[in-house]
Amino acid sequence: MISKWGINTDIIHSELKPDEKSRAVSPAIVPAVAYAFPTVESAIEVVSGECEGNYYGRYGNPTTRVLEEKMSKLEGGEDAIAVSSGMAAISISLLNYLKAGDHVVVTKDVYGGTHHFLTVLAPRFGIEVDFVDCTDLNAVENALKFNTKVLYLETPSNPCLTILDLKKLTNLAHSYKVPVIVDNTFMTPILQSPIELGVDVVVHSGTKYINGHGDVIAGFVIGKKKDISFMRKNLMGDLGQNLNAWESYLILRGLKTMGIRLKQHVENAKKVSEFLNGHRGISKVFYPGLPSHRQHSLAKQQMKGYGGIISFELKGGFETGVEFINHLKLAMISFSLGDPETLVQHPASMTHNSIPTEQRVEFGITDGLIRLSVGLEDANDIIDDLDQALTKASTIRLTKYKLNAK
């Protein structure tokens, strides 16, 4: 009897239950909306939660349940829900704790979709928000109010790859009886385990590394059973944010290779970051695996790997950034990340364009910042593509500079 498997074995084998009748290894795709009951009493037992089971597609699905149980096991939570997108996971997790008159403290350089939800929709519900430099424990403590109901973190942050000390931040928040939510999308359960560090709720965009193939939009929330139960019955179900059976099956299939995919993403990102760090056309590289990253020591201590995302600032700002991206041949311009293909985007004008310019600058999202999701291609091919695009962008920048000087 194996008492504890390694993470890569768990990814494949946890919650794997061959079908009792057919003995099929792959889980069945059950697209049902309605479920029949032998008696009224048995239906009441399921709806009330006395007995586990499905009663309507908006609140659960057998295929999706296999995925939820697997994600709960991988993240070390008591339970999990799989939902229709990463933003569904983020909004559900926040609304689990927040209502009119409540306050949330959020790490300042956060994903643009999260920022948009908290600045546009949350105020309509009477929810207050403060964006804080969460690398500064004093700043976080000073931001906490009598009505602060949750601390929301993202580490590494999107897109500046700031690393936050989860253990210290969680201890601080818990001393004020404030629960903590962490977006673990960039790391996956393989590279970081927030619940082991005391975090209450973990969210993921399953669209990214967990599925890993760029063909499913999904999200996950993992935490304590009572919280997940509330989210399922009162948020996911009532807001219609459930994940369907087909997409659940695709993620279950994609998950099986997550270990080997992440290994290649990380190895490639290490080589690419070292190349970028030494390039004369780049003023700054943000990658936790580089000793030059200001939180490299913390990353080494808190994470089991440095991930596949690199951000960097080009000399010449926005115009040079546009020229660089437009001259790439292998890397694709895309809003997403975590796919087999190398994907590149300009945060200030793409994923974070909803954030006002002054705030973007304050958060470190400059016009020259580029985010690169390093794919599974040969690392040398990725580097060659970046090199030729950087050379062309630099040549254009110098030509324009000389013409302006005349």
| DSSP string across 50-107 | SS---SBTTT--HHHHHHHHHHHHHHT-SEEEEES-HHHHHHHHHHHH--TT-EEEEE
Sign of CA dihedral 317, 306, 182, 163: negative
HSE-CB for 23 with a 13 A CA cutoff: 0
Q: Is 111 known to be catalytic?
A: yes
Q: Is 238 known to be catalytic?
A: no
Please name every residue paired with 219 in a beta bridge, in sequence order, or none if there are none.
Answer: 83, 205
Q: Which of 108, 109, 111, 261 is catalytic?
A: 111
Q: Is 225 known to be catalytic?
A: no
Q: Which of 79, 183, 200, 385 is catalytic?
A: 183
- As a whole number of angstroms, the distance between CA 106 and CA 118 comes to 9
Q: Which of 10, 55, 56, 58 is catalytic?
A: 58
- As a whole number of angstroms, the distance between CA 368 and CA 316 comes to 7
| DSSP string across 159-219 | TT-----HHHHHHHHHHTT--EEEE-TTTHHHH--GGGGT-SEEEEETTTTTT-SS----E
Q: Which helix (H) or strand (E) holds 116?
A: helix 112-116
Q: Which of 70, 208, 261, 270 is catalytic?
A: 208
- As a whole number of angstroms, the distance between CA 364 and CA 397 comes to 23
Please name every residue paired with 180 in a beta bridge, in sequence order, or none if there are none.
Answer: 151
Nearest to 219 by CA among 74, 339, 85, 70: 85
Cα 20-26-27 angle, rounded to 5 deg: 65
- As a whole number of angstroms, the distance between CA 33 and CA 257 comes to 30
- As a whole number of angstroms, the distance between CA 389 and CA 383 comes to 10
Q: Is 256 known to be catalytic?
A: no
- As a whole number of angstroms, the distance between CA 372 and CA 133 comes to 24
Instruction: Name the amino acid, one letter, at 307.
Output: G
- Give the residue numbers marked as catalytic: 58, 111, 183, 208
